[in-house]
Chain A
Amino acid sequence: MTGRATAAEKPQPAVSVRGLENRFGGILLHDGLDLDVRPGEVLGLVGSSGSGKTVLMRSIIGLNRPSAGEVRVLGQPLAALHGRPRRALLSRIGVLFQNGALFSGLTVAENIALVLKLHTGLAPAQIDRLARQKIDMAGLPQDAADRMPAQLSGGMRTRAGLARALALDPEIVFLDEPTAGLDPIGAADFDRLIRELQRSLGLTVFMVTHDINSLVAVTDRIAVLVDRKIRLAPLEELLKDPHPWVQAYFRGPRAQAAHGAAGSGH
Chain B
Amino acid sequence: MRSVTDTSASSSRDRPPAWFDLEDDNRLRVGGVWRLAQVDRLSRRLERAGLAGRTVREVDASGLTELDSAGAQLLIRTAASPDAIAGVDRRFRGLLRRVADAEAATADLSRTRRPGGAGAQLALIGWRTVGVGLRVWELLGFIGQCTGAVAKVAVRPWTLDVRATFHHLQATGINALPIVGLLAFLIGVVVAFMGALQLQKFSAGIYTVDMVGVAVLRELGVLFAAIMVAGRSGSAFTAQIGAMSLNEEIDAMRVIGLDPVGMLAVPRIVALVIALPLLTVYADLVALAGGAVICLALLDIGIPLFLERLSNAVDETAFLIGLAKAPFFAAAIAIVGCFEGFKVTGSAASVGRRTTTSVVEAIFTVILIDAAFAMALSWLNI
Binding site for B on A (CB under 8 A): 1, 3-4, 6, 104-105, 120-123, 126, 128-130, 132-137, 142-143, 148-151, 166, 168-169, 196-197, 199-202
Contacts and interface: CB of A to CB of B under 8 A. Distances in A.
Interface string B61-80: 00001111110010000000
Given A122-B39, A129-B73, A129-B106, A104 B347 contact: yes
B95 A126 contact: no
Given A150-B346, A169-B35, A169-B68, A136 B40 contact: no
Interface string B90-120: 0110110111011101100110000000000
A3 to B, nearest CB: 4
Given A122-B40, A201-B69, A201-B95, 7 more contacts: A3-B67, A126-B43, A133-B102, A142-B105, A142-B106, A150-B345, A200-B95
A157 B124 CA distance: 28
Nearest to B96: A200
B349 interface: yes
Contact of A133 (B35, B37, B67, B99): B99
B143 interface: no
Contacts of A199: 94
A133 B106 contact: yes
A130 B67 contact: no
A94 to B, nearest CB: 12
B36 interface: yes
Contact of B69 (A4, A121, A128, A133): A133
A130 B68 CA distance: 12
A14 B29 CA distance: 33
A105 B349 contact: yes
Q: When A and B form their complex, which 8 residue pairs have the shortest distance between CB atoms, in order from nearest?
A: A150-B346, A169-B68, A150-B347, A3-B91, A136-B102, A104-B347, A200-B94, A132-B106
Contacts of A126: 39-40, 43
B70 A136 contact: no
Given A126-B43, A200-B94, A132 B66 contact: no
B69 A132 contact: no
A178 B114 CA distance: 33
19 contacts: A1-B91, A105-B349, A122-B39, A122-B40, A126-B39, A126-B43, A128-B110, A129-B73, A129-B110, A132-B106, A132-B110, A134-B69, A136-B105, A148-B346, A148-B347, A169-B35, A200-B95, A201-B69, A202-B91
A137 B37 contact: no
Interface string B286-320: 00000000000000000000000000000000000
A168 B109 CA distance: 23
B357 interface: no
B378 to A, nearest CB: 47
Contacts of B67: 3
A137 B40 contact: no
Interface of B: 35-37, 39-40, 43, 65-70, 73, 89, 91-92, 94-95, 97-99, 101-103, 105-106, 109-110, 345-350
Contact of A3 (B40, B66, B346): B66
Given A3-B67, A201-B69, A104 B348 contact: yes
Given A3-B91, A126-B43, A201-B69, A149 B102 contact: no
A205 B110 CA distance: 31
A121 B42 CA distance: 12
A53 B132 CA distance: 49
B38 to A, nearest CB: 10
A105 B350 CA distance: 9
A142 B109 contact: yes
A123 B70 CA distance: 13
A122 to B, nearest CB: 5
A4 B36 contact: no
Contact of B98 (A105, A123, A130, A196): A196
Contact of B73 (A6, A130, A142, A143): A130
A132 B102 CA distance: 8
Nearest to A138: B102
Contact of A169 (B36, B40, B92, B103): B36
Contacts of A169: 35-36, 68-70
B106 A137 contact: no
A12 B35 CA distance: 21
A133 B350 contact: no
B240 to A, nearest CB: 19
Given A130-B73, A150-B349, A201-B68, A137 B39 contact: no
Contacts of B95: 3, 200-202
A94 B335 CA distance: 45
A147 to B, nearest CB: 11
A196 B97 CA distance: 11
Given A129-B106, A130-B70, A148-B347, A136 B43 contact: no
Contacts of B101: 136
Given A104-B347, A120-B37, A169-B36, A137 B110 contact: no
A126 B91 CA distance: 25
Contacts of A128: 110
A123 B44 CA distance: 10
B344 to A, nearest CB: 11
